[in-house]
Structure 1
Amino acid sequence: MAHTVCLSDPTSTPLPALCLECLSCCDLPVTCPYLGVASPDQKGCFPSAPFHGPSFSDHEPVLTQALTSFLPRYLLEQRDVEVNVRDKWDSTPLYYACLCGHEELVLYLLANGARCEANTFDGERCLYGALSDPIRRALRDYKQVTASCRRRDYYDDFLQRLLEQGIHSDVVFVVHGKPFRVHRCVLGARSAYFANMLDTKWKGKSVVVLRHPLINPVAFGALLQYLYTGRLDIGVEHVSDCERLAKQCQLWDLLSDLEAKCEKVSEFVVSKPGTCVKVLTIEPPPADPRLREDMALLADCALPPELRGDLWELPFPCPDGFNSCPDVCFRVAGCSFLCHKAFFCGRSDYFRALLDDHFRESEEPETSGGPPAVTLHGISPDIFTHVLYYVYSDHTELVPCATQALARI
């Protein structure tokens, strides 16, 4: 039988009500004036009004145990809070758990995807600040959790696979003999420099060879990781090479983030003798819209002219005449959407089967030299527009009548 409790300090603003599966696991006294216990037939959380009774110190151990055990589980498992979220001091929940000596919480956070790799800024901070030897041992024994046991963002996973596997890639960069299979549409949407080069100097090329001595293949791979995922991992010995590439490709946000992170790492290493940071990581802030907004440009380009309306009057950061290099055309009720197989196959099993010709529905190119066309039946252009934006940017604003139609796809 599920019970619910509300934790609140009578001397402060009440905490949000928490739903707990069972009280028996923490030995909380049901008569505790600070913990309201629901009746067996009551559903949902208790109101967050404070309870009055003995001093807070009398119940501090009970509340400390509840807050370090149940609150993190509630936030991660019920509220879907990012486990590696950072505050204004660039500190993560794992760092504070190590600093305060909560071993059980440290193990829980590590098991749920908290990052603490050796020789990284976060890893060294947690190790240096750990309050106890058991926590230090847990951090040293830490191994990166696998994809099957960590909570992940499916859209981020898709973009990472798109880069790693190069499925439906349309250009290969060879940097000092190392090949990188990439997609023109992604590079063009994320970088004005690549958009220009792919439409001029590299136009029509399926292989681009880069032999310049200042282009490091490791740094180039890290730059691609940033363009695809918004995240970057680079060894400190290659940071200057990465900064040079970021400047060349006019990625000013990345250049600023690299410089800021290098400064933080340098200050930390100087103030904490014995630490060794070898890997620098750049991550976008929580809910950062830049990556999804850039990918949404591809959906903008895919829209047929009759559905664009005032879209192209808006000041998008995309250069005039941006060529998204579509490789498939979807015909929907007479409207032609110029899209990319890499996104539709990677995001939908249905479209993967369709575009792999399992159903043999591919048709002749719509125009001479144009991409192959596939006709979709039983769906309106408006509904497919929602599909389009969700496939590219993982976001679309649905009206109630569109939900059932989308569920069939």
Structure 2
Amino acid sequence: MSPIESSSSWTLESDLEDLDIDLQDYGPSIPLKKVPNGDIFEASRAGDVDRLRYLLETGVNVNARDRWDSVALYYACLAGHIDAARMLLENGAICSEHTFDGDRCHYASLNLRIRKLLKAFEARPPPLAPLQASLRETFLGCFHNRAYLKQASVANIDVSVSVSVDEMGSSNYFPPDVVFFVQGRPIEAHRVILSARSPFFKQKFESEWKDRREVRFSKEKLSYPALCSLIHFFYSDRLEISVDDMEDLERICKVCKCESLQRIIEKELIHQKYAEYKTHRDLDNSMKRFILQGISLPEEDRLPASLHRILRVSLAKPFADTSGDSLNSSVGDKRVSDSVDSLADVCVKVDKRTFYCHQVILASRSEYFRARLSRVNDFHEGKNDLPGDCLPALEEHDLSAEAFEKMIEYMYTDGLKEINPNQAEEIFDVASRYLLFPLKRAVADALLPHLETATPAELCHWLVLSDMYGVLKIREYCLDLVACNFEAFVETREFRAMLLTLPPPSGDSSLRTTAPSAPGAMMTTDQGNLLDDLREKWLEAEALELDMRDESALIFDKRLRMLVEMAEQEKSESEAED
């Protein structure tokens, strides 16, 4: 789920309410206007959030600079457009105080509400996406990493901990496969994450570090905080570092060939060198921090794209089958595994196919896999047809290889590029079985374009299916369509037959007198009776006055009873014909 999609669920209103602010401070002094063809700077200055959303979705760099060396957030703050500023912040705009751009935005803020937004955002950035959050928890599940970040949080460096560092522990622990020692201090990590994010680490793990569990750096100038912050960034796509350590980080980025991140750090260092605040000594540099969201990097350099490249290599290998040639093919797979991707450390056999995967990814994304991989020392269940020196193997039953492939695509990338509608029901079931519930939303996002051309009969099928598996996005979409086109649906036999499979309306009068929800309002996660919800959607679509809703709800229920009687008659006639 992108930050643009999740922005409605993340608010700072509670942080803003405790300020004594005049009414004039809430609205912008510069009127909002539309700039249909404007760039990101014009859209921010005008407060045109629709144009801004379009530009951000097309991949415009949120921290780009214009010819006056200003960023878009600066113009939104200067004009007092809080919605535009919030959208820029949620998409990676830098707002940290005591950085060049952050200070300019704080000083230029037109009103107190904008300044409060910047401070609240800096103290509590929006939640990480599921992939980044799960890998970050794995990183913090390692004792030494957790101990360092706990110490750093005391120094006011780590500010994005959604779960207290003290609460991180054994439940999120997955053993590291490499430990770095810098000046005697350890950093625990996993090879596949580092190799996916850095060509330097990839080359090292394929050559001189291939069989090493520990790597000790002897260079005295190597900064432990900078390296730990960079590796933490590899896992979380969020950089949090003391300003004092940024020069060391820039040197490490150069060695690790993290070019896009290096360029951002270099620019920030140049600006800091000439920034006004350098003359003020009321705050030591070690207390100043720089926060960068991964979304500020080009898409190909972010965590999902990096892991997607690793996944493509794994899926490109030949698949073993259970035919008479399985031994030969599995031996061939072993050679390919050694030569193409030595970082794959587990193979999963599903429906005659073998998938080469990485334990840390599976364990981080799914509690089911974390339990299996952490509690079993040796894997024998999938080795019946494989040579004894191959990778550890797992066998998964009662699902197709295509559904498993879609599941691991989501586990590695946090999304699905496309999906066959015929696979959706199986993947919904897989998401529940493997405790990977956010996968349902990814399937819904990929499925919605197909539903735009679906027939009423197909929509009835998806409505029942989404209600069964708790896929709220598809459920709401289908309910809205049925409510807005109710007369067309009641003419279809499939809709009438669907009514026989659903529980009857609850008859709760409180549902009938509830005021219509505001357009775009967040739906509660409590899933109600399907026909009760359809009644409410129909009442909202009819735009009836509140004092007429009781009478209209009774009419709707009477209509449903007539349709059920018709459906029962049609069913009995069909059975008689059979």
Give me the TM-score of the superposition, normalised by structure 1.
0.65
Residues 18-72 of structure 1: CA distance to partner in whole angstroms, max 9, x if unpaired? xxxxxxxxxxxxxxxxxxxxxxxxxxxxxxxxxxxxxxxxxx99x869xx9x987
Match of 1:350 in 2: 368
Quote the Cα distance in structure 1 between the aligned partners of 2:344 and 2:352: 18
Aligned mate of 1:193, from 189, 194, 200: 200
The answer to whether structure 1 residue 393 and structure 2 residue 410 are counterparts is: no
Q: Does the C-alpha gap of structure 1 residues 270 and 288 become closer, same or farther in structure 2, counting only changes over 3 Å? A: same
Higher strand share: 1
Paired AA for residue 386 in structure 1: K
Q: Determine if contact 2:130/2:414 at 8 Å carries over to the other structure.
A: no
Q: What CA deviation, in whole Å up to 9, does each residue of 1:195-244 have, x standing for no partner?
A: 22122222212121112112110111122134334443333322222222
Amino acid at match of 2:353: C
* Gap change, CA 1:234 and 1:403, over 3 Å in 2: same
| Aligned equivalent of 1:405, options 412, 419, 426 | 426
Aligned match of 1:154 in 121, 124, 130?
Answer: 130
Question: Per the alignment, do residues 140 and 363 of structure 1 end up closer, same or farther by CA in structure 2, a change over 3 Å counting?
Answer: closer
- Report the counterpart of residue 373 of structure 1 in structure 2: 393
Distance 1:323 1:239, change over 3 A: same
Residue 122 of structure 1 deviates from its aligned partner by 4.5
Deviation, 1:330, is 0.6
Distance 1:217 1:88, change over 3 A: same
Which of 1 and 2 has greater Rg?
2
RMSD between aligned alpha carbons? Answer: 4.4
Gaps of 5+ in 2: 1-27, 34-43, 143-173, 321-337, 431-578
How do 1:7-406 and structure 2 match up within 5 A?
Answer: 85-86=62-63, 88-89=65-66, 91=71, 93=73, 95-101=74-80, 116-132=95-111, 136=115, 144-145=123-124, 150-166=126-142, 167-267=174-274, 269-270=275-276, 278-283=288-293, 284-285=295-296, 288-291=299-302, 292-303=304-315, 305-306=317-318, 321-356=339-374, 363=381, 366-396=386-416, 397-406=418-427
Larger deviation, residues 170-179 vs 222-231: 222-231
Greater alpha carbon shift after TM alignment, 156-165 vs 336-345:
156-165
Percent identity among equivalent residues?
A: 27
Count of residues paired in the alignment: 329
Q: Which consecutive residues of structure 1, in runs of 5 or more, have no partner in the other structure?
A: 1-59, 309-319
- The alpha-carbon deviation at position 189 of structure 1 amounts to 2.1
**Alpha carbons 2:319, 2:355 under 8 Å: kept:** no
SS, match of residue 238 in structure 1: helix
Contact 1:296 1:392 in 2 (8 A): yes
* Shift, 1:129, TM fit: 0.9
Taking the aligned partners of 1:395 and 1:137, their CA distance within structure 2 comes to: 34
Deviation at 1:247, TM superposition (A): 2.0
SS in 2 for 1:363: coil
Give the drift of 1:171: 0.9
Shift in Å, 1:184: 0.6
How far did residue 337 of structure 1 move?
Answer: 1.3
Distance 1:80 1:252 in 2: 23
Q: Which residue of 2 aligns with 1:55?
A: none
Tell me if structure 2 keeps the 8 A contact 1:298–1:324.
Answer: no
Q: Which amino acid aligns with 2:354?
A: S
Of residues 114-123 and 384-393 in structure 1, the stretch that sits farther from structure 2 once superposed is 114-123
Q: Deviations over 1:233-292 (max 9, x none)?
A: 33332222222222222223332222223234445x149976988333444437723322
Letter in 2 for 1:405: E
